[in-house]
Amino acid sequence: MAMHLPNARTDDELINILDEPETWTVTSQGRRLCFTASLRTAIERGSTFARAGAIVTTLSRQSDNVIVPPSKMCRLRKLIADRDVPVVP
């Protein structure tokens, strides 16, 4: 049986909030790598850190502690590219 994080969201729920202004944290093994102003930016920054060799362990939203694990971050990056999800101002 798969374990579900209590504050996890589906891919579609996360796609819908990509550009909502909210503070997200990119974390590597308990260390905060950066804060971002949206989930889209957190995904981009997390991917950049990962390509540079960092072990990105989570993206998390500050207000309600929504957690995005690395596997979901990679899946969302692909969905954004495949669906050509535009930036919402």
In a domain, 88, yes or no: no
Band the pLDDT of 41: cuts 50, 70, 90: very high
Q: Return the bridge partners of 32, or none.
A: 27
Q: Which domain holds residue 35?
A: 11-83
Residue 1 has pLDDT above 50, yes or no: no
CA distance 4 to 26: 20
Q: Ranked by mean pLDDT, which of 7-16, 30-39, 77-86 comes out on top? A: 30-39
In a domain, 26, yes or no: yes
In a domain, 3, yes or no: no
Residues 6+ apart with CB under 8 A from 43: 18, 59, 68, 73, 76, 77, 80
Give the mean model confidence (pLDDT) for residues 57-86. 89
In a domain, 76, yes or no: yes
In a domain, 1, yes or no: no
Q: What is the domain count for the chain?
A: 1
